[in-house]
Amino acid sequence: MSHGDVESTRDTRKSEDQRSLSLGGPKADDFWRAVSKIAVLQICESVGYERFKESALEALTDISIGYLCDLGKNASFHANLAGRTECNLFDVTRALEDLGASHGFSGASEIGNCLVGSGTVREMVQFVDSKEEIPFAQPVPKFPVVRHRKLIPSFEHMNETPPGKHIPSWLPAFPDPHTYIHTPMWNERASDPCADKIEQARQRRKAERALLSLQQRLVCNGSTGTSASMVVDAKKGKMHEAGSNPFLVAPLQPGEKDMSQVVFPAKLSDEVSKGNHVSVLEAFASAIEAMKDGPSNELYGEKTLLPEKRPAVHFNFRTGKKLLGQSIDLSLLKKGEKRTTLFLSDEERDDKKRRAEFILRQTTEYPMELNQS
């Protein structure tokens, strides 16, 4: 004999979660069914069972729910028979006797005796006395959940008079006219497209500056130990480069700068510990320099400034040192291409696009450098 998973009682398949999803979705009854399943499980555990077959548990749950409903139906029937709508103890006792008649209880065959002394009630008393309490495993939440709907206020509530005499004041009020009457809109502000563009460009530059400074700070955080030495070397390298190639202008010449603070080679050698602070200034300085110089300067930092007019550029980089994390990659790139997309000219690209691209490149390169160092 095998039982598998088929239940032979009523159609109880919908009580399963998986199956209910395919047949009409979960119903409100499923909640109570699940709760009763837990209760039945606990009762069976108290009786002595350790494990349960799913199908058997489902069947027992169905039967116990049916028993409960039968009790209620019977009790209400007896109450209605006596001309009442509310059930009392005697109705329940009669219902218990009806349901227990098949199994038998003491005093079942007697007729006309008072229900107070009924055998079923005595059995109940014995049951309660013998069994210990089984508290329910979890608190049962309130179901169904009551949602308070926000009603449309009435005319009275809104202190409005209904627009017609035939409309009573306790009905919901009409919607406000602005919700259904369309009125034209005028743009009252005078727009100056030229000024707007300038303002936009200014804000963009501000944002880019902030982003660059952040990146510089991040780079310096990653390579704090070498920043001073790198800077010093870079400075030396710059001097050398400047001597050999007059077109490689270092951005750190004091005469060209607006900011008086930017004498940072000396500053850097003095304040090795303030790596972050210096790098921020440095970043600002280089950014301003780049902006002042216009679109020809792509690279920031001390290493390189490429004039756009030179098709092929050769840089004298020290391969062993990382100058603010940029040198090695760029040298490799430059060797390959004369005019790459990295170095953009005004004729080819928009100012904004160039900056955006540069920032993106910075973000991709810096983490790689940091990892390597």
Partner 1 sequence: MNHNQQSGDAKNDDDSALSDFLASLMDYTPAIPDELVEHYLAKSGFQCPDVRLIRLVAVATQKFVAEVASDALQHCKARQAAVIKDKREKQQKDKHLILTMDDLSKSLLEYGVNVQHQDYFADDPSTGRDPASREE
- What is the contact surface with partner 1 in residues (CB under 8 A)? 1-4, 6-9, 32, 35-36, 39-40, 42-44, 46-53, 55-57, 59-60, 63-65, 67-73, 75-76, 79, 85-89, 92, 96, 102-103, 114, 116-117, 121, 123-125, 127-128, 131, 133-136, 140, 142-143
Q: Which is nearer to partner 1, 7 or 308 (CB)?
A: 7
At 295, list the tokens: 């679109």
Q: Which is nearer to partner 1, 42 or 245 (CB)?
A: 42
The residue type at 330: L
Angle at 43 between CA 39 and CA 48, to 5 degrees: 145
- What distance, in Å, lies between the first and last C-alpha atoms of the chain? 73
- Please list, in sequence order, all residues whose beta carbon lies within 8 angstroms of the beta carbon of residue 184, skipping any fewer than 6 positions away: none
Q: Which is nearer to partner 1, 69 or 167 (CB)?
A: 69
Q: Which is nearer to partner 1, 71 or 173 (CB)?
A: 71
Q: Which is nearer to partner 1, 118 or 216 (CB)?
A: 118
Q: Which is nearer to partner 1, 143 or 170 (CB)?
A: 143
CB of 155 to partner 1, least distance (A): 38
Q: Which is nearer to partner 1, 133 or 188 (CB)?
A: 133
CB of 145 to partner 1, least distance (A): 13
d(CA 99, CA 95): 6
Closest CA to 279 of 351, 214, 232, 368: 214
CB of 14 to partner 1, least distance (A): 16
Widest CA span in the chain? 127
CB of 181 to partner 1, least distance (A): 49
Q: How many other CB atoms are found less than 10 A from the CB of residue 96?
A: 21
Half-sphere exposure of 99 (CA within 13 A, CB side): 19
Radius of gyration of the chain (CA): 44
CB of 101 to partner 1, least distance (A): 10
Q: Which is nearer to partner 1, 12 or 296 (CB)?
A: 12
CA dihedral 222, 225, 229, 232 (to 10 degrees): 50
CB of 105 to partner 1, least distance (A): 11
d(CA 254, CA 246): 17
CB of 143 to partner 1, least distance (A): 8
- Written as one string, the DSSP assignment of 348-366 is TS-HHHHHHHHHHHHHHHH
Q: Which is nearer to partner 1, 88 or 269 (CB)?
A: 88
CB of 55 to partner 1, least distance (A): 5
Angle at 186 between CA 185 and CA 192, to 5 degrees: 140
CB of 65 to partner 1, least distance (A): 6
- Written as one string, the DSSP assignment of 177-204 is GGGT--------SPP-HHHHHHHHHHHH
Closest CA to 95 of 76, 108, 82, 80: 76
